[in-house]
Structure 1
Amino acid sequence: MDAIIHPQGSGRGVATQAALGTRFLVFPQAPFIPGYEKPEVVWIGASAGPILAGPSDHRMYVVEPVEPKRPYALPFLPPYRGLLRPPVEPGPDGHFDHITPGSPGFLSAHSYACARRVLDVCEGYIGRSINWFFEPHLQRLEIVPHIVGWDNAQSGFGFLELGESAPNRQTSCFGLNFDSIAHEMGHLVLLSELGILEGDGRGCDFFAYHEAIADFISLLGLLQFDTALDRILRRTGGNLLIHNELDRFAELSDERQIRSFNNSLRMGDVSDEAHDRSKPFAAGLFDSLIEVYQTLLFERGLSDLDPRRFSNLRQQLEPALLYEGLKRSSASYELKHFAYKAALQEARDIIGEGLTHSWHLLEPDTVTFESAALTFVEASYSGRGQSFIQQIEDCMRWRRIID
């Protein structure tokens, strides 16, 4: 018989928590994407503190309602007060990687691990703990891992909810889709760092900027997985302008996605609808990542192509990169795979740090894509992106975000 369970859980396994953190199984991409059928073991850092049954910690917790639940909407907000299923328990060693796909509780463990990993990544870039924007009214984020019959995912004042339009069908389950969870966490992190609107958002790019950042946070999150890094680089031979899962957000299949980072859209090509308007800025961030990555490859003798020779990024650099990829054989690439991987990891962190450090320079009611691009350039110049600042600025200029 189900019982009413307090979200904090029983506390079993706390004494055996490893000093290095807690293990979970996570799909870097939805498991119906070829190459990602098996989850990867990830460590949730010790900074999360004790991870109790639920899973739960001092920042977030998972609840599984017994009865059908409607998605949260004002005036109904967390905490959920109905009947709950028993929380997912850690194993005797304090870890959760014994909970495998298809087993009871896997969606709860997977949803928690994805959300917590994104928070850890963002806090690592910022260099401090992120205080939730809904504090002190609510102390922790509530995660609802699956709402049956709801084909969506959302985040808001103290909650992250994941839909499941058709039970027992992987393609319909947002709780198995790291991209979607990371996107919603991106919104929560940005609301907590940038702040919330006092006005209605007219005359600024607050909502569109949110969509761009949430999408890009999902990309940064994907690049934290060894499985994804290895597969993307080997699939493309290190040429990241060949279409692959890195530039696709919220993949629906191996060849379909909701939005693509690798596009040629400029600000004059999009509408005022928030998702559409977000595309050039998100693509400008992707361009910056590729520019830094390609420059590191050249500087380390891994590529003959110096991207700094090209002033017109899309019209000249892309054909040159494609030609470079055609010259490179799979055998010659494999000998350098781990050097390419190190360059991509460094480029990821340079852009991730510059972006997250730019948020404190912006105000929610006045943020525009121009001001966001300029502060991104400024924050990058103050950090590890200084050597690449002209290229980052050129990427934003090509997108017509700055003059």
Structure 2
Amino acid sequence: MWPDYSENEPPGTRFLLYPQSPYLEPNSKPELVEISAPQGTIGPGPSGPRMYAMNPVGKTIPYGAMIEGEDGPEMYLPAWDGYIEPPPEPDEFGNFIHIDPDDPAFEAAHLFGAAHFTMDVWEGYFGHPIPWHFARDFERLELSLLPSLDNAHIGWGFLETGGTREHGDEYRPYSLNFDVVAHEIGHAIIYSVIGLPSEEDATGEYYGFHESAADMVALLASLHFGSVVDELLKNTRGNLYTYNRLSRFAELSQNAQIRIAANDRTLSDFAHGWSSEHALSEPLTGAMFDILVDIYHERLVAHDVIDPEMEDLSDELEGTDEYNEIMQDLFDTHYAADPEGFRVALIEARDLLGSYLADAWEMLDADMLSYFGVERALVVVDQEITGGAFRQIIESNFRMREIGLTRPGPRLTKPDGSSHAASVRTLSPEANEP
């Protein structure tokens, strides 16, 4: 059923998006979503006021690479001025839902829809438009397809996606992987809100935070798909500590790494040093995931879906081998009695954490960023919004990860190709001037 609209709220432009990579599950189908741009405002490409997508013909060099310019070496940046493949066209109503997933044009439409949808979700949490961090030079983000690129990265004016051939000869484009696109948009949001450190050698916690925040952007955005929420609860019977699609991040990097949000890493694991900001992000992401689950449990109690004794038992058993053995039967019983109550509680927890993160991130400083600082910002936000209702949840989950009790040691190895510290994501044109 289509949603109702008032005269002052025209329907948004509709796209078909895969909530997760279509290659993870056989016969998966895209889901219909609406972006904030009203019907009729998105042109061929797709192309809109904030971003535009294209499939270049003959492009071999990725954006961000150093090329020889008229005045010496310079960064290769948008806009692409060569030929492009025929762009997807909107239908008579201005939507893009008529494009079949087997149509070559679907990839560009999906990339645009996923990027715009993610920005819509998070601008809702921030309560205002999020300017591009590259707005000085470009008004719009160029979304570009480059099949020869075994990566997906956002940079100065562009989000470029390639794909992987790690599964035999089958090419799997990252543009069809919502988590990948949302993760890269997450980096753009953080660059806009927090900025880059003024010193060239940023702390490990800055880069670890970036990875964690981008993961949270993707995770919470994915929970805006009705099918993700429904299948998640159906598969777990409401027990979110079960290994499931929510806690799988499909940001397939050059190492095809899949991180687990429900992890048991602590910051002391990195007290002697670290090599990968992806790994260093895990204690912070784990704390955020646990906060999400604890708030979800609080909302279940508030709606009388579970009783306080069940919540207390969950807290007592968290992290033990007995958790699923004991708790799953309880979740099975309560979920069968009120599945809608579980859905409402999860959506409320999703939106509360999203708004908390948006407010907290705006308090952070790139030059002084620490995981403990993230905790303190969340506590301040909680005090302002609820008078401190979730302070114990926030602080206890950060302590469980030993955040605030220790700091990570130095970087042990030089940044490699998977590191954002050595990638085009952190480069701006002046950073490469001689």
**Smaller-chain TM-score bracket:** 0.7 to 0.9
The equivalent residue for 1:249 is 249
The equivalent residue for 2:234 is 234
CA change 1:329–1:29 in 2 (3 A) is: same
The equivalent residue for 1:341 is 343
Amino acid aligned to 1:283: G
In 2: Cα distance, 1:169 partner to 1:355 partner: 41
In the TM superposition, what is the alpha-carbon distance from 1:76 to its structure 2 partner? 0.5
Amino acid aligned to 2:383: Y
In 2: Cα distance, 1:188 partner to 1:132 partner: 7
- Mapped contact 2:13–2:39 kept (Cα < 8 A): no
In the TM superposition, what is the alpha-carbon distance from 1:302 to its structure 2 partner? 1.3
- Mapped contact 1:151–1:172 kept (Cα < 8 A): no
Describe the SS at the equivalent of 1:54: coil
- Give CA deviations for 1:82-110 in whole Å, capped at 9, x if unaligned: 22223211001111000121113100110
- Mapped contact 1:194–1:364 kept (Cα < 8 A): yes
| Segment drifting more, 381-390 vs 176-185 | 381-390
In 1: Cα distance, 2:171 partner to 2:290 partner: 30
The equivalent residue for 1:120 is 120
Could you tell me the percent identity over the aligned residues?
Answer: 35
Matched, 1:60 2:48: no
In the TM superposition, what is the alpha-carbon distance from 1:264 to its structure 2 partner? 0.9
Describe the SS at the equivalent of 1:154: strand
**Aligned match for 1:356, one of 358, 374, 390:** 358
- Give CA deviations for 1:248-277 in whole Å, capped at 9, x if unaligned: 10077xxx9610011111001145221111
- Give CA deviations for 1:210-254 in whole Å, capped at 9, x if unaligned: 0110111110011000010000000000100010010110077xx
In 2: Cα distance, 1:175 partner to 1:380 partner: 36
| Segment drifting more, 27-36 vs 180-189 | 27-36
Matches within 5 A, 1:37-186: 37-46=28-37, 50-73=41-64, 74=66, 75-144=75-144, 146-166=145-165, 172-186=172-186
In 2: Cα distance, 1:194 partner to 1:313 partner: 37
In 1: Cα distance, 2:261 partner to 2:319 partner: 17
In the TM superposition, what is the alpha-carbon distance from 1:78 to its structure 2 partner? 1.1
TM-score scaled to structure 2, two decimals?
A: 0.82
In the TM superposition, what is the alpha-carbon distance from 1:197 to its structure 2 partner? 2.1
In the TM superposition, what is the alpha-carbon distance from 1:369 to its structure 2 partner? 1.1
**Aligned match for 1:303, one of 306, 309, 312:** 306
Describe the SS at the equivalent of 1:25: strand
In 1: Cα distance, 2:190 partner to 2:251 partner: 23
The equivalent residue for 1:189 is 189
Q: How many residues align?
A: 380
- Give CA deviations for 1:177-233 in whole Å, capped at 9, x if unaligned: 111001100000110111122212434621111011011111001100001000000
**Aligned match for 2:384, one of 382, 385, 403:** 382
The equivalent residue for 1:11 is none
Amino acid aligned to 1:161: E
TM-score scaled to structure 1, two decimals?
A: 0.87
In 2: Cα distance, 1:243 partner to 1:42 partner: 26
In 1: Cα distance, 2:30 partner to 2:202 partner: 43
| Segment drifting more, 173-182 vs 82-91 | 82-91
